[in-house]
Amino acid sequence: MKTTIVALQFFLMVVGTTTAFCQENVEVQIKKMDSLMERAWLRGDTIELLSKYWSPKLVVNNPLNKVVTVDIIKKIVKGGTMTPVSSERTIEKVTIIDNVAIAMGAEMAVPSQGNIYAGKKTFSRFTNVWMKTEVGWRMIARQSTIIKVEE
């Protein structure tokens, strides 16, 4: 009986440690992918964004309070009005629920010419939602709200 209890405690400890380790690995992976995705966004590289990071069904509530899909985002990127000149993102929290990872935090961007905030620092809060698919983690939703604009 005592051996069974010790074995059960050991099993639960291993399962708990493995689960925590897996979640840490997913968090690191999501943060890395988010950073690489941001670099591709700054370059306006829609091919990389679509092939490596975005779900074809991605939906975004963008900083200009417009809900857009991938087709509209591609047009916006080609037009150059939403691709920032510079950007810094800080992920404050990643929450993992089954095959979904939610990254939340703050970002600063300087929008490019053609944007109503061109040349000004914009500060936003964001949420990026990632889903594990058969081809890996893909961003399925994003929400970004500008909370401050510096002249």
Question: Using one digit for the tens of pLDDT, what is the confidence trace for 33-90?
Answer: 999 999 998 888 888 988 999 999 999 999 889 999 999 988 877 776 667 788 899 9
Q: Is the pLDDT of residue 109 over 70?
A: yes
Q: Is the pLDDT of residue 15 over 70?
A: no
- CA 127 to CA 146: how far, in whole Å? 12
Spell out the long-range contacts of 65-69 with Cβ–Cβ below 8 A and sequence spacing 24 or more.
65/145
CATH classification number, 2-150, choose in 3.10.450.50, 2.40.30.10, 3.40.50.150, 3.40.50.2000: 3.10.450.50
The answer to whether the pTM exceeds 0.75 is: yes
Residue 4 vs residue 54, higher pLDDT: 54
